[in-house]
Structures are given as C-alpha cells and as structure tokens.
Structure 1
Amino acid sequence: MKVVLLTLCFALGVLAQDKYESVNDDFDVSKVLNNDRLLQSYAKCLLNKGPCTSEVKEVKAKLPEALETRCAKCTDKQKQMGKVLAQEVKKNHPDIWKELVAMYDPQGKYQEAWKEFLQE
C-alpha cells in the first residue's frame, strides 16, 4: 500500500483541478530514505505519533484519497516518488510499513491494487 510515505510523495502535492499540484515534484526522496531520523520523523507524523511538517501534513491529508484511487490525481513524478518510497520502506523498514498499512488500510481493501501499482 502506497501508504508508505508514499505517502510522502503525495505529501508534496496539493489539489489542483484534476491533479495534485506539482510544486514539490523536485523533492529528494533519497534525502528521506538515507536519513533514518528524518524517515522516523515523517513516519511518526503519518502515524499520529509525532508532529508534522507542513509538507508531510499535506501528504497525510491526501493519502486516503491517493490510496483509494491508486494515485489517480498524482503527477507522474509523484507516482514515481511514491513507488520508490513505498518499495524502500517496505523492504528496509518493515516495522514502519506494517504500522502504516494497519493505520491506512486496516481491512486490506487496497492491498491488491497497490501491489499491482508498485509493480507497474
């Protein structure tokens, strides 16, 4: 489930017409993935366990819709960032991934769609 901070990548978008704004499409995903403190901070925000930056707060607000629609309003860059974030968090931080999935998809209704999305 792209609820991974994939979330983060959406965190960079704000609604604008049919797509989220691409204002933060230049967000450096590797900056988050290579900084455990930053990743933990973002995860705590998404899990309601800590404070949020304005960027992550935006992602958090858009995350449920993005999950439900398989990121239909995301720009191509946001989809790419989301996939990278989701795959890396799932692989290298399974504990965070499990918590995100439990919070944002407790019934597992988005699992199959997001599995396909991440493989596209």
Structure 2
Amino acid sequence: MFLTAMKSLPLIVIFSTIFFMQGCFCKYIVRNIREVAETYPTKYDNIDVGSILASERLLKNYMNCLLDKGPCSPDGQLLRQYLPDALQSECSKCSEKQKKIAGTVLSNLLQNHKDYWQQLLNKYDTDGSFLKKHRGFAAGEAEDYSDLDEARK
C-alpha cells in the first residue's frame, strides 16, 4: 500500500501544482481586468493639448462640447463622459499623463479663460466640492490653486 501511495504522489503533486497555478492565473486575470476597468481609456493621451489651448477656435469647440452647447469630436465625447467622475474622484482613475494634461488645462483655464472655468464649475461642480478640495483657503482668503500647478509639472 505504501508503494502504491508513493507511485501516485507525483501525480498528486502535479495536479495540485496545476490547480494552484490555474487559481493564481485566474486571480491575476481578474485583478488586471479590475485595474483596466478602474482607469480611464488612454486612447487620446497623446493629444497636443498645447495646440488646443493656443487655438481659440479649438478651445471654444471643446468648451461647447463639455457644456452641451455644441457638437463633440470623439475625444471630446470621451472627455465629457469621464469629466464628472474625474472631478469627483480627484482623477483617481487617470493615468499619470492624464493627470499632467488635466493640470495643464485647469491651470490654463484659471489663468487665461476664467469665463470658461466658471462655466465648467457651474456645470460640473454644482455643490462646490471640487473647489473645496483644491482651494485650500477659508472664505475671504486669496485663492490658491498651487496644487493644480504642481500637477502639470
């Protein structure tokens, strides 16, 4: 009986190893699927945001898209779809590149296009939570958006 058990031991080890590896592989796949589902698409991460911000026409088109005042390009549609969640979650699902782009855009709007900035806040930050998270000042103090400037570096 002992010899029979010894002969089947390698088979048990092999099967146990296979089942263990399958379990690990399945966990790896599930974890990676969750990670992918928890990030925004990176399809447009290489867009030249500087040229958009430098062009009044392009910037106006994007703003009209985001504010539901005009048609959207495919990348504009994607941005409009994810912007509310990105603002609420502090861009937690953004890639590093998307965070830098967001910092560049927000900083530019604050410095050069306060009217667009205010319109975006009116639409996407109706309860003021985004401003509360990023202002870092009490009522009556000077505005401080330095954390947004840091994001674009």
> Take 2:135 and 2:53, find their aligned partners in 1: how far apart are those partners?
20
Residue 88 of structure 1 corresponds to: 108
SS of 1:26's partner is coil
TM-score (norm 1): 0.81
> Take 1:46 and 1:91, find their aligned partners in 2: how far apart are those partners?
19
Residue 5 of structure 2 corresponds to: none
Q: Return 5+ residue gaps in structure 1 as ranges.
A: 1-14
Find the structure with the greater CA-based Rg. Answer: 2
Give the alignment partner of residue 19 of structure 1, picking from 12, 28, 39.
39
> Take 1:44 and 1:105, find their aligned partners in 2: how far apart are those partners?
17
Which structure's residues are more often helix, by fraction?
2
SS of 1:110's partner is helix
Amino acid paired to 2:130: Y
Residue 13 of structure 2 corresponds to: none
Q: Return 5+ residue gaps in structure 2 as ranges.
A: 1-34, 137-146
Percent identity at matched positions?
A: 34
Greater RCO structure (CA 8 Å; 6+ sep): 1
RMSD: 1.7
Residue 79 of structure 1 corresponds to: 99
**More off after superposition, 71-80 vs 99-108:** 99-108
SS of 1:65's partner is helix
Say how many residue pairs are matched.
106
Residue 148 of structure 2 corresponds to: 118
Task: Tell me which stretches of 4 or more aligned residues in structure 1 moved more than 6 Å.
Answer: none
Residue 109 of structure 1 corresponds to: 129
